[in-house]
Amino acid sequence: MFDVILLAVDGSKQSPFVTNLACQLAKGQPSTVYVTCCIDESYALEDNGDEPGEIVDYPPAEAEQNTARAVVGQAMATLKQAGIRAKGNLIVGPAGEALVAEAARINASVIVIGHRQLSAFGRMMKGSVSADVIEGSPCPVLVEVRGN
């Protein structure tokens, strides 16, 4: 049913629930799950516009990327253990916009994402990534709410 699944993970306590949901969708199907974690532009080391040969030492960005790689690696290990074809992916940009663009790029048939219960202040300051994805998505969006 869903041949290309974009799985958005962020390392929150909800990530295992979202990963298990993607497993349920892909199990027994010829699906590929693209395990995707978004990195804020200010912490991205690749394509940072520096002059060729210039070396940038920015430990917070390195830590952010290492954490994102670990989050993607954990989800991929779970999927592969279940016999599901998975590819890891780090993307850069505002999370909602970047996930919608990535879904279009890979021609995703569904996006699997979590939803956090933010306070009114949190929504005002950060916005809702899942709402942004739902609003702009080129495909259906499955939102996992367990684990909040």
Q: Average of pLDDT values for 130-141?
A: 94
pLDDT class of 96 with cuts at 50, 70, 90: very high
Number of domains the chain contains: 1
25 lies in a domain?
Answer: yes
State the CATH number of the domain containing residue 29.
3.40.50.620
84 lies in a domain?
Answer: yes
3-state secondary structure of 111: strand
Q: Average of pLDDT values for 22-30?
A: 93
State the pTM of this model: 0.84
Closest CA to 109 of 38, 37, 31: 31
Q: Which helix (H) or strand (E) holds 67?
A: helix 59-81
Distance CA 101, CA 107 (A): 10
Q: How far apart are the first and last CA of the chain?
A: 28
91 lies in a domain?
Answer: yes
Give residue 34's identity as a one-letter amino acid code: Y
108 lies in a domain?
Answer: yes
Contact 12, 116 (CB under 8 A): yes
Give residue 126's identity as a one-letter amino acid code: K
Token pair for residue 63?
A: 């830590």
Print the domain residue range for 72: 4-114
pLDDT at position 48 is 47
Give the model confidence (pLDDT) of 46-84 as tens digits. 554 445 545 556 677 788 888 999 999 999 999 999 999
81 lies in a domain?
Answer: yes
138 lies in a domain?
Answer: no
Helices in 107-146 by DSSP H: which ranges? 120-126, 129-136
126 lies in a domain?
Answer: no
146 lies in a domain?
Answer: no
